């Protein structure tokens, strides 16, 4: 994977208004997934790295409030053909409880593989528009996670095909 490094100072200054030292789990819900690259830049500043390896999308990678400078706090996937935001991933240094984002009546749990012993779990919640919120590695209420994903439902077959099939 080829990563192009960009200026970190500009990122930190630009990101302070929206994400200043936040570990709020609700920050992903601020994204409609209709933001264009210029709007993302205005909200978050320049990414620390950009991955251009995929022929269909690029990922902008940020280090906003994480303690480990080897990890990315936010990863945004943007479709190359039209600049449309596909997904926003939030990685936390410490596990956080996410129950407030996944009310039982609006949430579902899926397991991979769908048949046989489960090796991986996710909790999902369909949101307005084409958005789905996914808590990685969570099989039941009360369990924490270090990774949340906000993704377009229409993009799930590319990124999470097994989950797209299960959520039909």
- Closest by CA to 126, choosing from 143, 144, 151, 93, is 151
Contact 83, 113 (CB under 8 A): no
Residues 6+ apart with CB under 8 A from 168: none
Q: What is the pTM of this model?
A: 0.83
Helices (H), the chain: 8-19, 37-44, 156-159, 161-166
Q: What is the rounded average pLDDT for all residues in the chain?
A: 85
Per-residue pLDDT of 21-73, as tens digits, reads: 344 678 899 999 999 989 998 988 999 999 999 999 999 999 887 666 668 99
- Closest by CA to 150, choosing from 61, 86, 93, is 86
Contact 35, 76 (CB under 8 A): no
Helix axis angle, 37-44 relative to 8-19, nearest 10°? 80
Per-residue pLDDT of 146-167, as tens digits, reads: 999 999 999 999 999 999 999 9
């Amino acid at each position: 994977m080829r990563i192009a490094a960009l200026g970190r100072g500009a990122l930190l200054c630009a990101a302070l208004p929206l994400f200043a030292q936040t570990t709020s789990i609700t920050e992903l819900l601020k994204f409609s997934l209709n933001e264009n690259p210029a709007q993302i830049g205005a909200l978050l500043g320049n990414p620390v790295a950009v991955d251009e390896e995929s022929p269909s999308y690029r990922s902008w990678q940020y280090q906003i409030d994480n303690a480990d400078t080897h990890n990315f706090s936010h990863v945004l996937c943007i479709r190359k053909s039209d600049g449309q935001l596909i997904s926003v991933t939030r990685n936390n240094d410490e596990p956080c409880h996410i129950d407030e984002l996944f009310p039982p009546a609006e949430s579902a749990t899926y397991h991979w593989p769908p048949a046989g012993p489960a090796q991986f779990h996710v909790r999902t919640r369909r949101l307005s528009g084409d958005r789905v919120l996914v808590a990685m590695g969570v099989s039941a209420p009360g369990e924490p996670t270090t990774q949340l994903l906000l993704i377009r439902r229409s993009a799930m077959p590319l990124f999470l095909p097994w989950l797209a099939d299960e959520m039909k």
